[in-house]
Chains A and B, each alone.
Chain A
Amino acid sequence: MLSLRDKAWSPYAAGILIGLLQIPAFLLINTALGASSSYVTVAGNLAALVDPGAAKIDYIAKHLAGAKNWWQVALVIGVALGALLSSRLSGASRPPMSTVWSRGLGITSMAQRAPLAFVAGFIMLFGARIADGCTSGHGLSGIAQLAIGSFIAVAAMFAGGIATALLLRRV
């Protein structure tokens, strides 16, 4: 059946595994799966090192410390380690960047791709923080809790994503 040495698993098996992670999230940490607020925790703590004013902003201050905030930072670091482990076990090594960027945008060098990736990351987290959640917090967890705001946010994410993807070449 499923082996750690497989390059790909059924998306349904992987999805079920991800959904089951809500059990330890709710029972042990008393929260739901999420990813984007960890960016505020990491960036806020780094900013506080050079700017004492950062910690005086309530929004940043409430993300700086505590078990739930550091749990989510550890979660996303674990995601990187888990993906590293998984790809090493299967031998699914990746090129420096996906071929989708040359197919969709004609980007062939890292010098072109890196600035776009930076801007994409900036837009992504700025939007996620306005919406108070991302594909994990609103998508996986919000919809699993039947939150109306999460249905709206996910519909908007797909609307924004689809509209942007239509500007790219067919991939």
Chain B
Amino acid sequence: MSVLSAIFVGLAMGLVFGLALEKSRVFEPGVIVGQMQLRNFIMLKVFLSAVATGLVVLAALNGFGFIKLAPKATLYTADIAGGLILGVGITLAGGCPGTVLAQIGAGYRDAWATLLGGLCGALTFGYLEPVLRPWIDGGPGKLTLDHLVGLPFWQVAVMFAALIIMLLVLLERWRPWQTELGRHVDGDTGSAATGGSGRRHIVSQH
């Protein structure tokens, strides 16, 4: 595919992605920080729904031979250290590398600073990569759950998706999603012990 067509496809897919992120409110810093404090589970609900859908979609596409999968190599140090650092950033940014763009689109102006910091962080890594590479490398390479259990990808993917769906049913029974939005759909449900400002109300939508 030419670069121009790829850009067109990317923009079209991004529009849908951004719409879904905005409508789900998962781009809200209040939702992300709330998730990390285990008080709001909208992030987990969106994330697990997307993963379960992806599992089923890839099980079908791969099972019928339309596509080859391209899982990332397993690099223990990089996955653990990089993931930990990324997690710190996610809480302080109140977002992820993708949802920061949704924050910008939705009107949070501080997200421009997050974006600029992200560009500088990515570039800094790029310059340091030759120095960091020996430390980052090291792991079993491409390793997937289906290979570990010795079953076809589509079977493990469908079973794992079913497990996620059961988990989501339980999660929804415990915390109905409408109760987690807050009056301003920003994840502020006024659940904190302190408070008392006029904004704090637990609102259930009907």
Nearest-CB residue, chain B, relative to A23: B57
State which residues 99-117 of A face B: CB under 8 Å: 99-101, 103-104, 110, 113-117
The answer to whether B82 touches A149 (Cβ under 8 A) is no
The answer to whether A19 touches B53 (Cβ under 8 A) is yes
The answer to whether A83 touches B18 (Cβ under 8 A) is yes
Residues of B within 8 A of A (CB): 1-3, 5-30, 33-39, 42, 45-58, 61, 66-67, 69-76, 78-94, 96-111, 113-127, 129-130, 132, 136, 139-140, 142-146, 148, 153, 156-157, 160, 168, 172, 177, 181, 184-188, 192-195, 199, 205
Chain B residues, Cβ within 8 Å of A139: 47, 51
The answer to whether B105 touches A82 (Cβ under 8 A) is yes
State which residues 1-46 of A face B: CB under 8 Å: 2, 4, 6-33, 35-36, 39-40, 42-44, 46
The answer to whether B50 touches A127 (Cβ under 8 A) is no
The answer to whether B45 touches A28 (Cβ under 8 A) is no
- Number of A residues whose C-beta is below 8 Å from B? 139
Query: A49 an interface residue at 8 Å Cβ cutoff?
Result: no
Which of B21, B35, B42, B187 gathers most chain A CB within 10 Å? B21
Query: A96 an interface residue at 8 Å Cβ cutoff?
Result: yes
Residues of A within 8 A of B (CB): 2, 4, 6-33, 35-36, 39-40, 42-44, 46-47, 54, 57-60, 63, 65-68, 70-87, 90, 92-101, 103-104, 110, 113-166, 168-171
| Given contact pairs A40-B123, A94-B106, A117-B111, A12 touches B168 in the complex (Cβ within 8 A) | yes
Chain B residues, Cβ within 8 Å of A165: 33, 36-37, 91
The answer to whether A47 touches B123 (Cβ under 8 A) is yes
